[in-house]
Amino acid sequence: MPIADRMIARVAAFAVIKDMFEEGRRLKAEFGPDNVYDFSLGNPDVPPPEEFRRILREMTAADGLDHGYAPVTGHFHVREALAGRLQEEQGIAIPPDLILMTVGAAGALNDILRALMNPGEEFVTPAPYFLGYENYAFLADVALVSAPTDARFHLDVAAIEKALTFKTRVVLINSPNNPSGAVYSPAELKALGDLLQRASARFGKRIYLVSDEPYRRIVYDVAVPAVFTAYPHSIVVNSFSKELSLAGERIGYLAVHPDADDAAQILAAAAAINSMSVVNAPGLFQQAAARVLGAAVDVSSYRRRRDLMAAALDDAGYQFTLPEGAFYLFPKSPIADDVRFTQILKEERILVSPGRAFGSPGCFRISYAVPEAVITGSREGFRRALQKAQG
């Protein structure tokens, strides 16, 4: 086999995803795009804020716009602007030198996991978890260990404690959560921070907390608490993919808590990985994003969709927890086999993702980053699928 041995299973896994995608295209071609209800993608469809579009037009119209290499860690004025914002969000001052601009949150997570972890070590993450985490584990040659959450997908700190071993280097959380929509409370974060202090002492090595927060600005009636006040040995990861609908332009960042053990060394190691992998985060868009840090996409449109989707599922008889953030619903599959249930939904021309892709079999994920007509059009299909599954 000419490709690397370790890539064979990965290529096969990607082929399965591609086949699902192709089948969606085939359905749309056969039945017309308006008659296929595609909830399978997490691609924001709300336009970027008008303020962002204006800034981008201004920047590209200016004479002498420089597209040369950016500094490895990102433009200083960009990190300075982000430091101000992070201080508001996290409640402590963060020097620009502890911020690294990255190729999206994916780039940031790849950078920090490789920076902190030796091959064979483990990171613990609550399930359900974003499916990219398995990829980042693969690239860093480390193991993903999942810990269950409670019935509302909130942190079960005792379950995390059980999952910790002498091989654990990182606990990775994602709040607001993809796929569950849970937003962890200050009390949960505090309990987690206390656990990690105790566990670091017990195992005789520092366990870091990495908080992946790309949906921070997409919340309904809750605020996302500051992980930095709950545990000093923390790294925050974020991106502009969702809050500015810039997913394809790949701008993210990470920030290391200034009181984290060896904070400067951690940033330097993450910057080294960043430089070796991608050289720098794209130059124009990091600067454009930094100029509209107060702006965000229209969250009210996501809220309307959430409520519409929740009402449809409720009417049909599905069990689910109302999401507090992000743009996903994660209902219980009416049959134990969630992959089978996604096939039943597909017979109704409804495309969703099985829960086992997120480490949580028995559920399925709906991305409601879709036009409202897709939601209303799918109501009868969801109802029939439930009846079919139960019948």
Q: In whole angstroms, how close is the CB of 216 to its own copies at the nearest point?
A: 19
Report the distance separating Cα 205 and Cα 123, nearest Å: 14
Figure out which of the listed residues 229, 277, 321, 376 binds its own copies, where binding follows CB under 8 A. 277
- Could you give the 3-state DSSP secondary structure of residue 152? coil
Q: Of the candidates 129, 153, 208, 330, which one interacts with its own copies according to CB under 8 A?
A: 208
CB of 141 to its own copies, least distance (A): 8
Count of residues that interact with its own copies, criterion CB under 8 A: 76
Does residue 48 belong to the site contacting its own copies (CB under 8 A)? yes
Which candidate, 112, 380, 52, places its Cα nearest to that of 255? 112
Q: What x-and-dash track marks residues 322-351 binding its own copies by CB under 8 A?
A: ------------------------------
Name which position in 49, 96, 107, 176 contacts its own copies (CB under 8 A): 107
Minimum Å gap between C-beta 33 and its own copies is 16
| Cα–Cα dist 79/381, whole Å | 48
First to last CA, the chain: 46
Q: Is the Cβ of residue 207 or residue 313 nearer to its own copies in the bound state?
A: 207
Among 193, 214, 283, 331, which residue interacts with its own copies (rule: CB under 8 A)? 283
- Which residues between 137 and 196 bind its own copies (CB under 8 A)? 138-139, 141
**Among 29-37, 86-94, 264-272, 357-365, which window interacts with its own copies (CB under 8 A)?**
264-272
Contact call for residues 103 and 70 (beta carbons, < 8 A): no
Q: Rounded CA gap, 291 and 359, in Å?
A: 37
Site string for its own copies, 285-304 (x = CB under 8 A): x-------------------
User: Segment contacting its own copies (CB under 8 A): 147-155, 270-278, 300-308, 359-367?
Assistant: 270-278
Q: Which H or E element spans position 99?
A: strand 99-102
Which among 23-31, 106-114, 158-166, 330-338 is the span making contact with its own copies, rule CB under 8 A? 106-114
Find tokens 């602007």 and name the residue: 81
Restricted to residues 224-253, the positions that interact with its own copies (CB under 8 A) are 244-250
Please check whether residue 115 is in contact with residue 145, taking contact to mean a CB–CB distance below 8 angstroms: no
b (16+ CB within 10 A) / e for 36-58: bbbbbebebbbebbeebeebbee
User: Can you read off the two tokens belonging to residue 26?
Assistant: 């085939």
Residue placing its CB nearer to its own copies in the complex, 11 or 311: 11
Among 56, 81, 155, 329, binds its own copies (CB under 8 A): 56
Judged by CB under 8 A, does residue 1 bind its own copies? yes
**Closest-CA residue to 88 (of 263, 229, 187):** 229
Tokens of 365: 């994920």
Check residue 203 for interaction with its own copies (CB under 8 A): no
Given the complex with its own copies, which of 227 and 271 has the nearer CB atom? 271
User: Which among 89-97, 144-152, 223-231, 269-277 is the span making contact with its own copies, rule CB under 8 A?
Assistant: 269-277
Question: 282: cis peptide before it, omega within 30°?
Answer: no
Write out the two tokens for 209. 């907390």
Verify binding: residue 118, its own copies, rule CB under 8 A: yes
In the complex with its own copies, the residue whose CB is nearer, 289 or 309, is 289
Q: Check: CB of residue 254 under 8 Å from CB of residue 235.
A: yes
| Amino acid, single-letter form, for residue 293 | L
Cβ atoms of 189 and 231 closer than 8 Å: yes
- Among positions 57-76, residues that touch its own copies (CB under 8 A) are 57, 60-61, 64-70
170 near 132, Cβ under 8 Å? no
Q: Does 28 bind its own copies (CB under 8 A)?
A: no
